Amino acid sequence: MKFAVIVFPGSNCDIDMYHAVKDELGCDVEYVWHDEKSLDGFDGILLPGGFSYGDYLRSGAIARFSHVMKEVIKAAEAGKPVLGVCNGFQILLEAGLLPGAMRRNESLKFICRPVQLKVENNQTMFSQGYEQDEVITIPVAHGEGNYYCDEVTLASLKENNQIVFTYHDVNPNGSLSNIAGITNKAGNVLGMMPHPERAVDELIGGADGLKLFQSIVKQWRESHVVNA
């Protein structure tokens, strides 16, 4: 399986994402600059965290119009796994690949620390490596991670089991219904504020995030065996 790590001006977690995939997961991966016009050679798409375009206007608002986003949307529509972390999640929201929006943290302060997440749905291509209701530890690092949507959208997210991760015990940013990560209805696009790529090795404080990447590869391999 070959991954693309999309790099925007201002991305700062692209190297972490690359390391997680290449060195910990053992898969092929390449950096892809934001003005690339094709992602046809990749099986999975990763949008890392950072401050794309300096977070001007609002987080992800400018990156959403990058040339590569047309290809990200195309990949999502083709059923390929698309993961957006932190700023990547914000970009997916701005692009309409996921419902809802991000607001400033309730504290109006940037937060950077490990948090506990609860696995609300382990039946997705991103979460099948976890146990249902498992509590995991993943770090966060954001100033605008306060997820919000209207009541109709929230009801739809719950009805379709699109809420994959919630904050457990303590909600660090005021996110609606403690939401930390959601998928699209098809289940192949995941946006999450916590950084799984920063939790892939016990040497750096924990490896709970590695199962997420392993889940993607497992699903991809199983689907290709079935289709072979």
Verify whether residue 24 is a known catalytic residue.
no
Q: How many helices (H) and strands (E) does the chain have?
A: 5, 11
| Phi, psi for 16 (deg, rounded to 5) | -60, -45
Q: How do strand 179-183 and strand 189-192 relate by DSSP bridges? A: antiparallel
Catalytic-role residue among 86, 120, 142, 144: 86
**Which is nearest to 20 in space by CA: 159, 134, 110, 138?**
138
Q: Is 156 helix (H, G, I), strand (E, B) or coil?
A: helix
Residues 6+ apart with CB under 8 A from 147: 100, 101, 102, 103, 173, 175, 176, 179, 180, 182, 193
Query: In 78-206, where does DSSP find H-type helix?
Result: 87-94, 151-159
Active site residue 195: yes
**Could you please report the per-residue DSSP string of 54-85?**
GG-SSTTTTGGGSHHHHHHHHHHHTT--EEEE
Which tokens in the block code for residue 215?
């889940």
Asked whether 210 and 24 are in contact (CB, 8 A), the reply is: yes
86 CB-side CA count, 13 A: 27
71 noted as active-site residue: no
Active-site annotation, residues: 86, 195, 197
